[in-house]
Amino acid sequence: MVTVQMEEKGIFDQFKDWYTNRHEYAKAWKEKGGKVMGYFCTYVPEEILYAANILPVRILGSHEPQDVTEPHIFAMFCPFCRDCLAQGLKGRYDYLDGIMIAQSCLHIRQTYTSWDLHIPTDYSYYLPHPMHVQSPQATPYLREELIQFKKSVEDWIDKPITNYDLKRGIEIMNANRRLMNQVYELRKKRNPPVTGLEAMYMVVSSQMTDKHEHNRELESLLQKLSTRDIGDPGERLMIIGSEDDDTEFLAMVEDLGATFVTDDHCTGTRYFQEEVNPSEDLLNAIAERYVKRVPCPSKDWPKRTRLDHIIRMSKEYDVQGAILIQQKFCDPHELDTPAIKEELEKNGIATLFLEFDVTVPIGQFKTRVEAFLEIMREEDLF
């Protein structure tokens, strides 16, 4: 059972606070004189935005029921995409100076298009990002697109982005990735000093906070974690699937005595695992990182590379059970789920599939997770 000792409770509070008060944070940041860019999808090359001293803020939903998106986006688009658009239509991101997307799944593209059409912003950019990332042409293609994107940002801010700026952008992003990878390394321990909920606050907050500040907080966190002990983790779980920042769900599962020790989703490892390997051609280096990163399933074809990756991670983190979650109507993840489930089970890992909506039915899910953990515990007895 995970028990976080009283004196250590506060060490993730700053990340939680950034996540909870994301709009207030961005508005205060902007008052110091910078531009804020709202972005959809983790394929957006934040390195170029940091190079231009722009704050990238990932647009996320609020997990509240809403009735404003129906005229703009079909109800059979994923709830996450509709929830994101609802935030824009309700004016919650009215401080954004610009919005952008890097081409990914069809659903989030519709969110971007509807936002672009109906919510006035000073700047908007659709970055064509290769879907066939396994093609040898993907990196050179993206490099050319990044040249055009960089030029567009320079025109917007009326200032050139130098190689020195780009190096700075890469360094700040790489440092953030390196530090979060170090925190994840600690989760491999027999008694991980971090819960899944805490890790989620850490990663999601990095998508909406100035990484200079976020990195300082991570450095301080790593020092505190070296002596932290939160006890027996119970069942070691992995969460896999669609976009997910449903903190209530993670808290509910961990309150039942299990611990998420790792994940494969875009509010977790898929966001930060790989660094840019700087070379002389910096835009090529950035392109290479986004082409070779662990892919979203919308780009993971013709070979399904995530299967090997997920199995490797499950072994490294000594995972006993996996909760596969999918945003309702999310086609890319829906197509991958049967293969992932089969592969995990072949490797002796118990699985539970759950479909998420804007709000999750926490009571109903609790019953299913309890049954799942019960079966794992019974099997452990024999």
Q: Which residue ranges make up the site for ligand SF4 (CB under 6 A)?
A: 78, 80-81, 105, 107-108, 242-243, 296, 298, 327, 330, 332-333
Q: Looking at 41-198, which runs of residues are DSSP E strands?
A: 54-58, 98-102, 123-127
- Smaller CB separation from ligand SF4, 41 or 376: 41
- Nearest approach in angstroms of CB 235 to ligand SF4 is 26
- Nearest approach in angstroms of CB 239 to ligand SF4 is 14
For residue 117, the one-letter residue type is: L
Angle, vertex CA 352, rays to CA 351 and CA 353, nearest 5 = 125
Cα separation, 306 vs 298, whole angstroms: 11
Tokens of 365: 């899910």
The DSSP result for 198-263, as a single string, is HHHHHHHHHTTS-HHHHHHHHHHHHHHHTT-------SEEEEEES----HHHHHHHHHTT-EEEEE
Cα separation, 68 vs 82, whole angstroms: 9
Cα separation, 254 vs 237, whole angstroms: 10
- Nearest approach in angstroms of CB 172 to ligand SF4 is 26
- Nearest approach in angstroms of CB 39 to ligand SF4 is 13
Residue in the shown chain whose Cβ atom is closest to ligand SF4? 330
- Smaller CB separation from ligand SF4, 318 or 357: 357
33 sits in the region (left: phi over 0; alpha: psi -120 to 50; else beta) called: left
- Smaller CB separation from ligand SF4, 243 or 343: 243
- Smaller CB separation from ligand SF4, 321 or 332: 332
- Smaller CB separation from ligand SF4, 167 or 341: 341
- Smaller CB separation from ligand SF4, 184 or 356: 356
Checking DSSP bridges between strand 321-327 and strand 236-241, what pairing results, if any? parallel
> Is the distance from CB of 214 to CB of 206 less than 8 angstroms?
yes
Distance of CA 197 to the CA centre of its chain: 13
3-class DSSP assignment, residue 195 = coil
- Nearest approach in angstroms of CB 106 to ligand SF4 is 7
- Nearest approach in angstroms of CB 156 to ligand SF4 is 26
- Smaller CB separation from ligand SF4, 56 or 332: 332
- Nearest approach in angstroms of CB 77 to ligand SF4 is 7
- Smaller CB separation from ligand SF4, 243 or 263: 243
For residue 234, the one-letter residue type is: G
| Close Cβ partners of 68 (under 8 Å, ≥ 6 residues apart) | 86, 89, 90
- Nearest approach in angstroms of CB 36 to ligand SF4 is 22
